[in-house]
Amino acid sequence: MKLNILPGSLARRAAGNYIRKKSYAGSRNRKITNWAEAKSIAFLVDGHDPAALRMLLNQLHAYAQKGKKVHIFGYVKKLPPFEEDGIYWFTNKDLNWAGLPKPSVLKALNIQTYDLLINTAEIKVSTLHYLSALSHATLRIGPYAEEWAECYDFMIIQDPGETVPELLKKAEYYLSTFNKQYAPVHGTTD
């Protein structure tokens, strides 16, 4: 008798069940945070492409220069491309058999509650989706993928060929429109 369960799908199912059992993973009261009001932002990054990562880090450091407290958590399979820049790196050694981060990684992420958590990695990097779901961030943001909807509070559609900096600009735009008091439209009478 042949089983139709692939090891990857079994691991994903086990990880999904684990995440759903965590009381803070899906049932927390979420708060929409306006971009201007967000003080601390955690970014989840994929370290497999050093050139793309360097460009992304330049943008993330620009946020820090604008007064945001930026915290970066990076995932790479074996060795980090570079160890400076204050990135908390974790590798496959820091994951369990289902691809879930071990307690040491979760402890590092959940030392503080961030106003925003933004996953900048490609959709295929499941480990960062799991980390997002298990975080204590007030608002979790990631790229749109129906199969990962339980890991985020707000998902943004990434157009084909769209870069991560463009995705971050979209996130800034959408978050800037939340919780705003709208001025009356010109030419209307009350």
- Has residue 46 been placed in a domain? yes
- Has residue 13 been placed in a domain? no
Least confident range from 17-21, 59-63, 78-82, 99-103: namely 17-21
Residue 147's pLDDT band, with cuts at 50, 70 and 90, is: confident
Which CATH number do you get for residue 166?
3.40.50.2000
- Has residue 20 been placed in a domain? no
- Has residue 151 been placed in a domain? yes
117 vs 42: CA distance, rounded Å = 5
- Has residue 3 been placed in a domain? no
In which domain, by residue range, is 166 found? Answer: 29-177
Residue 184 has what pLDDT?
A: 45
Q: Which neighbouring-strand residues pair with 119?
A: 44
Q: List, as own/partner pairs, every contact residues 18-21 make where C-beta atoms lie below 8 angstroms and the sequence separation is at least 24, other chains included.
A: 18/98, 18/100, 19/100, 19/130, 19/133, 19/134, 19/150, 19/151, 20/150
- Has residue 187 been placed in a domain? no
- Has residue 1 been placed in a domain? no
The per-residue pLDDT of the chain, averaged, comes to 81
Strands (E) in the chain, as ranges, are 40-46, 69-75, 87-90, 116-119, 139-143, 154-156
More confident: 132 or 85: 132
Domain count, the chain: 1
Q: pLDDT tens across 3-34, in order?
A: 444 455 666 666 666 666 554 455 455 677 88
Q: What is the DSSP letter of 98?
A: T
- Has residue 82 been placed in a domain? yes
